[in-house]
Structure 1
Amino acid sequence: MNKTTTVYQDAIRLLYILVNGSENFKDESNSKVKGIFRGKARLYAMDFWVRYPDYFAFELIKKHEETSDHKFLKLAESIFNNNEPDLRRIPMIRFLFGAYEKLDNTLSILISKGLLRQEGSKKENIHQYDFLIFEDAYDLIDRASKEFHILKWYDDRTKIINEIAGQRGGRALKERQYEQLVYAQTKLGGIIPSIKEDVLIKLEQLMTKI
């Protein structure tokens, strides 16, 4: 798969996910820690929704069906009105546990800049990697969104993705994404294809009812 973004573009995208997907947290050993993002698998799952707006639109539709809140349907409609499935899609490969791309080099940039720290833990033979988020990271994305209007999209999108993800961990989010047959049936090592046509049909059907 040809690389469509630079490591620095990936870094700013991940930083928005990590900051807006974090919860308040205090570290007695470091007063600069402001939050924690729990789980690398959760990071991959949320990154998938950023990189595949059509899949996220489908999730918004499901949220509308669960809550009857039209705001989620309107958000899904705006994704297609802005042609996001074509303009903002960043392909990912399907591996054994779902959409994946090695992000160690990207994360190392954020760590080297003093914006976050990775912490590892082991529970029931399962390794979990959490990220402690420093105050400078929050200040950086706030400033970036104000100074560079193009980045405001990442701020808004990652906030709504975090709302939809809720308290679910990476495993639960991956299982949710696997409910899409196109995703689940993608061969290992293959690029996960778009589902925009199917989602658009379902969206149009629902929009006629409101």
Structure 2
Amino acid sequence: MSSPTTRMQDAVRILMLIDKAAEPISNSDVSADAALASAVGVVRSQVRLQKLDFWVRNPDYLANELLNDYENGDQDLALLGLAAEILDTEEPEMRRYPMLRYLFGAYEDLEDALAVLRHADLVVRRKQGRPGHVTRTDYFLLQAGRDTVAKIGTDFPELMWYSARSALVVQLAEGQGATQLKDRQYIVDEYLNTSHGVRIPSITERARRRLAAIREEIEEKQE
């Protein structure tokens, strides 16, 4: 298992995830909020951000979901190739950063990382509800945040792995709300059965066995 993430590493990962996951903003979002004048997109709800981040942080679970989509869909070989791109390498071992299992699924405190982004005026956080009863937290990406992602890509190309994986995760989650993503992750037994407050275990070897079985089935059909 890879070592724990640093605050700055988390900030870079979350910035790139928000950049890829951000939806278009509406006029009502920015009309009465001067701080959002340069906003270029928004991720609606902390739950959604956490669920997407789980797949970025856990390539083994991401690959397993790609295999699910392959088997439950029209057996698109592109999906199989994307899963193989992860499982045929040491990515699940080298890039995996486990998350804790809480009452509503995988969770990791993102406040330190988001504080870095907010302090640098890259992201603006807006809460809905009232003090003591927040109903939703939205994360607005500012133009400076998008420009920073581009600069990171130029100056530190090795960090663009986060951007590439974020794009894949967003593609996997397309059309699904935060609750649907949560329910989808609960389907995995290892995730569901992890005790409260314990880090969710790896499923790398099981996912690799699935990939091998699918490949064997394809070979048999071609004979």
1:20-75 deviations in whole A, cap 9, x for unaligned?
A: 00012252344311111111001111111011100000111112122421111101
Q: What is the CA deviation profile of residues 176-205 of structure 1, one whole-angstrom value per residue up to 9, with x for unaligned ones? A: 000000100011111110011111111111
Q: How many Å separate the matches in 2 of 1:51 and 1:105?
A: 17
Quick check: 2:127–2:134 contact (8 Å CA) kept in 1?
no
Q: How much has 1:104 moved relative to structure 2?
A: 1.1
CA contact (8 A) 2:126 2:137 kept: yes
- Give the distance between the partners of 2:3 and 2:164, measured in 1 at CA: 25
The one of 202, 213, 219 aligned to 1:205: 213
Identify which of 129, 137, 148 aligns with 2:145.
137
Alignment coverage as a number of residue pairs: 208
Q: In structure 1, the residue corresponding to 2:199 is in which secondary structure?
A: coil
1:70 matches 2:77: yes
Displacement, 1:152?
1.6
Which of these two proteins has the greater Rg computed from alpha carbons? 2
Most deviating of 99-108 and 51-60: 99-108
**Off by >4 Å, runs of 4+ in structure 1:** none
Deviation of the 1:87 alpha carbon = 0.4
Please give the secondary structure, in 1, of the residue aligned with 2:125: strand
SS at match of 1:130: strand
Which residue does the alignment assign to 1:154?
162
Paired residues of 1:95 and 1:188 also in contact (CA < 8 A)? yes
1:171–1:94 CA distance, 2 compared to 1 (3 A): same
Whole-angstrom distance in 1 between the partners of 2:7 and 2:177: 26
Letter in 1 for 2:193: Q
Q: Provide the aligned C-alpha RMSD in A.
A: 1.9
Match of 1:133, SS? strand
Does the aligned pair in 1 maintain the 2:25–2:40 contact within 8 Å? yes
Question: Mean Cα displacement is larger for which, 167-176 or 12-21?
Answer: 167-176
Q: Which runs of 5+ in 1 are unaligned?
A: none
For residues 101 and 36 of structure 1, what CA distance do their matches in structure 2 show?
Answer: 20
TM-score (norm 1): 0.93
Distance 1:143 1:61 in 2: 34
Secondary structure at 1:99 match in 2: strand
Deviations 1:83-114 (A, max 9, x none): 11100011211111111111112111111110
Q: Given that residues 70 and 80 in structure 2 are in contact (C-alpha distance below 8 angstroms), is that contact kept between their aligned partners in structure 1?
A: yes
Aligned to 1:61: 67
Q: Give the structure 2 partner of residue 100 of structure 1.
A: 107
Q: Name stretches of at least 5 consecutive residues in structure 2 with no aligned partner.
A: none
Whether contact under 8 Å (1:52, 1:90) holds in the other structure is: yes
Indicate the residue corresponding to 2:49 in structure 1: 43
Please state whether the residue corresponding to 1:129 is helix, strand or coil.
strand
| Aligned sequence identity (%) | 33
Residue 148 of structure 1 deviates from its aligned partner by 1.1
